[in-house]
Structure 1
Amino acid sequence: MTTFATHDTEDFSVPENETTNHEPTEARVESPYAVLRWLVLATFVVILNETIMVNAIPRLMVELEVSARSAQWLSTAFMLTMAVVIPVTGWFLQRVTTRQAFLTAMTVFLAGTLLSALAPVFWLLVAGRVVQAAGTAVMLPLLMTTLMTIVPEHDRGRVMGNVMLAISVAPALGPAVSGVVLEVASWRWLFGLVLPVAGLITWVSMRRLTDVGETRESALDVPSVLLAALGFGTLVYGLSRIGAEVETAVPAWALVVAGLAVVVAFLLRQRSLQKRDTPLLDLRVLSHRTYAVGVTIQSVSFLAMMGAMILLPLYLQELRGLSPLQTGLLVAPGGLAMGLLGPRVGHAFDRFGARPLVVPGSIGVVVALGVLSQVSETTSYGVVLGTHVLMMVSLAALFTPVFTLSLGALPPQLYSHGSSLLGTTQQVSAAIGTAVSVTVLSSRTTSLLEGGATPSAAFVGGVQWAFGAAALISLVVVVLVLTLPSRSADHDADESPCEEPAAA
C-alpha cells in the first residue's frame, strides 16, 4: 500500500523539518508526492503545445500553400484525436504501470513533435499533430488518476490546486509564447523548442518516477474501441463543422446524428461488458451521484468557457483590429490569474469545503459572460481584460473543488475510468461550445445584415448574442452547484458502487 504524506506545504515535497540535520542527504526519503512533480511538468509541456499553434496558421498557409479551411485541420485533427483516444485511457491506465504509461505517452508525443518540426508538406504536419495528440490524451488522465491514488482526501484540494496551476497557465501561455517565437524564427521552432524540453523532462522523470497503485489484467474489447473511435470522432467532427463557411458532402447535422447513434451503441456495449467486468470505459462511475453531478458541471462550464475562448479572439481581431500576438497578451492575464489562484483555491477547499467556492464561482462566470454580451465597437480594452480575468478566476473557484469532489466520490478501482470520462466529456463539450457560439454568431450577424445593419454593427450584434447564449447556459451550473456536497463522502458511501449506472 502506498504511504501517504500528511504535510501541508506549497509544493509536492516533504518539508525539511521531517529530516534531521544529522541525516546524510542520501538517507532522506523522497515524498510520495514527488511522482506528481514529474507528471505535472510533462503535462504542462504537452498542454502548452495544444495552443501554441494558434498564431502560426497564417504563416503556415503561405509557406505550405494551403487554404484557411485546410489549415484549420491542425486544430480539428488534434481535437478529433483527443476525443478518440481518451475513452481508451481508462482501460489502458489500469493495465500498465505508471512508468509504462508515462513513457508511452511521452514517447508518442516526442515522435509527433519531431515529425511536425521536420514536416516538408502540410499533410505530414497534420499527421505529426495527430501523433502528438495521442500522447497528450494519456497524460492528463494519468496525472489525475495518480493524484487520486496517492493523495489522501484531506489534502486533495491543496494538491489539486497546485496541479491546476500548471494545467491552467499552460494554455494561457501558448498563444503568447508562439507570438514571441514567430517574431524571430520560423514556425518549425514552435516544435523545435518543445522537443528538447520534453525530451529532458522524459529522461529525468524516468530516472526518478516510481510506480503507483496496482495493475489489473483485462482484455481489450476491439468492438468497443472501434465504436468509441467512430462515435466520438464523428460527433466531434460534425460539431466542429456546424457554422462552417463551406459545407461538407455530408451535412454537419447528419454527422452529429450519426455520431450520437454510434456513441449510444458504445455506451450500451459498455453496460453489457460491465456484467463480465471488462468494459473499456466503466460507466459505473455514473452510479455515484456526486461524480455524475460533477461531470455535468464540468461539461457545462467547459462548454461556456470554450465558447468564450472562441468569441473573444474573433471580437478582438476581426472587429477591433488587434494582431494575434496582441490578442494573446490581452487574454494571458486571465489564464495566469486562474492558474496562480489554483493553490489558494485548493487550500480554501481543504479548510472550508466546496460551497463557499463553487457558488460564488458559478455566479461569477454568469456575470462575466453577461458583461461580455454587452461589448461594442468601442468597449474599453480594460473592461474586456477585467471581465476576462473575472471569468477565469471564477472558473478556478469551480474547477478545483468540482474535480476533487467528483473523483473523490469514486472507489480507487474506478479512478482511471472517472478521469477518462471527464476528459471525454470535456472534448465533446469543447466541440459543442464552439458549435453553439459559431452558430449563434453567424445566424444573428446574417439576420442583422439582412435588416440593413452595417457589417461591423451586425458582427457586434452576433458577438453579443453568442456571449448571451453562453451566459444563459452557465445558469445551469449555478443550479447544479447547489446540489453538490461541501466535502467528499467516503466514496459516496450511501450509494452502491456496483449498481448499474443510470442511462447515459
Structure 2
Amino acid sequence: MSSIPAEQHNQVFKTTPILISFLIAGFIGLFSETALNMALGDLIQVFSITPSDVQWLTTGYLLTLGILVPVSGLLMQWFTTRQLFIASLIFSIVGTLIAALAPTFGILLASRVVQAIGTALLLPLMFNTILLIFPIHKRGATMGLMGLVIMFAPAIGPTISGIVIENLSWHWIFWICLPFLFFALFFGIAYMQNVSTITKPKIDIFSIIFSTIGFGGIVYGFSSAGENGWGSTIVISTIVIGIIALVLFTLRQLKMEQPMINLSVFKYPMFTLGLLSVFITFMVILSSMILLPLYLQTGLALTAVTAGLVLLPGGILNGFMSPITGRIFDKYGPRGLVTPGFIIMIIMLWLLSNVTTETSIIMVVIMHTFLMIGVSLVMMPAQTNGLNQLPRHLYPDGTAIMNTLQQVSGAIGTAIAITIMSASQSTYLETVSNATDRAALTAGVQDAFIFGLILAIIGFIMSLFIRSARA
C-alpha cells in the first residue's frame, strides 16, 4: 500500500487493487484491438466486402480514439474516477458483446466504435490515476507494469486469434474477452477509489468542436491515404481541415481562462521531449506491426499463424522488459535508457531495411526482438519522465495530450509506411524484368523501414537533451 502526501488530502489509497483493475481492463482492451487483425481475411469473405471496407474496423477505432481522448482531460475534472472507470468497462463490455453477436459488417463496425469509447475513457484515466496515487520515486516501476500490459497484449493478440480462427469462428475472439471484462468491472466496483479532484470547469462547445474536427480530420485523412492515395481530394481536404481546426483549437485554448486542454504543459521541456520521443517510437511500432506481417506472409510465404509466432518472442520480451526498465528508471533516471534504446532501434531498423526473400526466419525473430527491446527502453521511461515534470493540476492535460498524440502518430506512421511500401513496390514491378510479387513487396518493405530508421535517428538526437525530471 502507498499513502499520498499531505497536499493530496492525506488519503490512503489501496494502490494494488486499483492497479490490478486497470491492468486487467487495459490488457483485454488492447488485446481485442490487435487480435481482430488476423481475422480480417476471413471477414472479407464472410461479409463479401473489399479490403478497403474491412480496414474501417481499424480506422473507425483509431478515429474514435482520436476524437474522444482529447476530451478525457475535461471528463476527468467533471466525473469521479469510479464513474469513469465503470463507464469505460460498460462501453467495452457492450461493444464486445455486440461484436460477438454481429450478423452484418455494419453492426461489427458499430461495435468497434463502442469498444473504442471504452478504451478512450480508460487509457488517460489509467495514466492520470497512477500519477496521483504513486509517489514520484515509485512511478517508473508502476509505469513499467503498465508497459508490460500495453506491449504484451497486442503482441499475443495475433497469435491467440490465429489459433482461435483455425479451430473456431472469428466471433470467439470477442467471446473469450467478455469474462475478463466482467471480472475487471466487478473487481473495480469493489476496489476502485476516487482519486482525482472534481473542479467542473466550464465546458466550451467550440473547443470540443475544433478538437473533434482537428484530431478526427488528421486521423481520418492519414488512415484513408493508403486506400485512396495521397492525391485524393478526401485525403487532402480532411488533413487540411484538421490542421486548420487544430490551429483554431490552439488559439482558443491560449485565450481561455479555463481551457479544455491546458497547453501550458508545453512550457515544461522534459514533457515536450518525452512526448516527441513517444510520438516517434509509436510511429516506429505501428509501422513495423503492419510491415512485418506483410513481409512474413508475402515475402517469406509464411502462414498467418506462423507469422504471428515469429513476432511473439519480441512482443513478449518487450512486455517483460517494461517492469525492468521501470525499476532502472526509478534508480537512475531516463538518460541511460532512452539514448541506448534509440541506438538499438537504429541498428535493427537498418538491418530490417536490408531484408530479402531469402532472409531466415531466425534472423527476423532476432531483429524484431531487439527492436522491441529498444522500444521498451524508450517508451515508458520517456513518458514517465515527461509526466513527472508536470505539476499535479496539469496531470489530466498531460495524459490527455500524451494519449491523443499516440493515436495520431499511429495513424500517421502506418499511412506513411504503407504509402512508401506501395510506391516502391510499383516502381520495382515497372523497372525490374521478371519481377515477382514477393520480391516487389520485399523491396517496398525495405524502403518503408528506411522511413522508420530516419525517425529513430531523430529520436536519438532528441534523447541527448533528456534530463531527469522532478515536478
For this structure pair, what is the TM-score category when the shorter chain's length is used for normalisation? over 0.9
**Deviations 1:190-229 (CA, angstroms, capped at 9, x unpaired):** 1112122201220122011111132111122122212221
AA in 2 matched with 1:382:
I
Give the structure 2 partner of residue 285 of structure 1: 265
Aligned to 1:214: 197
1:171-182 equivalent positions in 2, closer than 5 A: 171-182=154-165
Deviation at 1:448, TM superposition (A): 2.1
Which of 71, 84, 109 matches 1:126? 109
How many Å apart are 1:443 and its aligned residue? 1.5
1:354 corresponds to which residue? 334
Q: Equivalents in 2 of 1:367, 1:352: separation in Å? A: 24
The residue that corresponds to 1:497 in the other structure is none
* Partner SS, residue 200 of structure 2: coil
Aligned partner of 2:445: which letter? V
| Contact 2:420–2:444 (Cα < 8 Å) also in 1 | yes
Separation in 2, partners of 1:69, 1:30 = 47
Offset of residue 451 of structure 1: 1.4
Per the alignment, residue 73 of structure 2 pairs with 90
Aligned to 1:150: 133
Deviation at 1:468, TM superposition (A): 1.1
Aligned 1:246-325 pairs, distance under 5 A: 250-273=233-256, 276-277=257-258, 279-325=259-305
Secondary structure class of the residue paired with 1:52: helix
Residue 334 of structure 1 corresponds to 314
Q: Aligned residue for 1:402?
A: 382
Q: Which has the higher helix share?
A: 2
Query: Is 1:416 matched with 2:396?
Result: yes
Q: Is the 8 A contact 1:4 1:32 kept in 2?
A: no
Runs of 4+ in 1 over 4 A off after TM superposition: 245-249
Deviations 1:446-483 (A, max 9, x none): 22222134133332221111111210121011011111
DSSP 3-state at the match of 1:388? helix
TM-score normalised per structure 1: 0.88
CA distance in 1, matches of 2:228, 2:240: 20
SS at match of 1:424: helix
CA contact (8 A) 1:33 1:150 kept: no
CA contact (8 A) 2:230 2:236 kept: no
Q: Where does structure 2 lack aligned partners over 5 or more consecutive residues? A: 6-11
* d(CA) in 1 for partners of 2:443, 2:168: 38
Query: Could you list the per-position Cα deviations for residues 80-134 of structure 1 after superposition, in whole angstroms to 9, with x for gaps in the alignment?
Result: 1111110000111122111011011111111111111122211011000000001
Provide the C-alpha distance between the structure 2 equivalents of 1:352 and 1:317, rounded to a whole number of angstroms: 41
In 2: Cα distance, 1:105 partner to 1:349 partner: 30
CA distance in 2, matches of 1:189, 1:305: 27
Match of 1:109 among 92, 96, 103: 92
Corresponding residue for residue 457 of structure 1: 439
Residues 1:3 and 2:21 aligned together: no
Partner of 1:198: 181
Q: Which residue of 2 aligns with 1:137?
A: 120
Match of 1:364 among 344, 347, 372: 344
Q: Which has the larger radius of gyration?
A: 1
Q: How does 1:56-71 map to 2 (within 5 A)?
A: 56-71=39-54
Q: Secondary structure at the match of 1:243?
A: helix
Displacement, 1:34? 3.0
1:179 maps to a residue whose letter is G
Q: Distance in 1 between matches of 2:66 and 2:18?
A: 27
Give, in angstroms, the shift of residue 288 of structure 1. 0.8
Match of 1:79? 62
Q: What are the Cα deviations for residues 369-389 of structure 1, in whole angstroms up to 9, with x where unaligned?
A: 011000001001111100100
- Aligned 8 A contact 2:13 2:133 in 1: no
SS of 1:281's partner is coil
1:231 alignment partner AA? G
Q: Given that residues 365 and 394 in structure 1 are in contact (C-alpha distance below 8 angstroms), is that contact kept between their aligned partners in structure 2?
A: yes
Distance, in Å, in 2 between the alignment partners of 1:84 and 1:356 is: 35
CA distance in 1 between partners of 2:415 and 2:18 (Å): 38
Which amino acid in the other structure matches residue 135 of structure 2?
A: P
Name the amino acid aligned to 1:124. Answer: I
Aligned amino acid, residue 469 of structure 2: S
- C-alpha contact 2:4 2:135 (8 A) present in aligned 1: yes
Task: Report what 1:17 is aligned to.
Answer: none
Query: Does the CA contact (< 8 Å) of 2:224 and 2:235 recur in 1?
Result: yes
1:488 paired residue number: 469
Would you say the 8 A contact 2:96–2:178 is kept in 1?
yes
Q: Which amino acid aligns with 1:156?
A: R
1:232 maps to which of 192, 215, 220 = 215
Which amino acid is 1:488 matched to? Answer: A
What CA distance in whole angstroms lies between the structure 1 residues aligned with 2:65 and 2:233?
A: 23
- The sequence identity of aligned pairs, in percent, is 34
Q: 1:442 aligns with which of 422, 426, 429?
A: 422
Does 2:449 match 1:472? no
- 1:176 & 1:166 partners in 2: Cα distance? 16
CA distance in 2, matches of 1:102, 1:408: 23
SS in 2 for 1:484: coil
Shift of residue 345 of structure 1? 0.8
CA RMSD of aligned residues (A): 1.7
Specify the SS of the correspondent of 2:103: coil
Shift of residue 3, structure 1, vs aligned partner: 1.9
Q: CA deviation at 1:76?
A: 0.9
Structure 1 residues 114 and 204, CA gap change in structure 2 (3 angstroms): same
- 2:325·2:376 contact (CA, 8 Å) conserved in 1? yes
**Code of the aligned partner of 1:377:** T
The one-letter amino acid paired with 2:131 is M
| AA matched with 1:420 | A
> In the aligned structure 1, how far is the partner of 2:432 from the partner of 2:44?
34
The one-letter code sitting in structure 2 at the alignment partner of 1:3 is S
- How far 1:246 moved relative to its partner? 7.0
Structure-1 separation of matches of 2:13 and 2:380: 26
Distance 1:363 1:157 in 2: 21
* Contact 2:76 2:196 (C-alpha < 8 Å) held by counterparts: no
Give the partner amino acid of 2:265: V
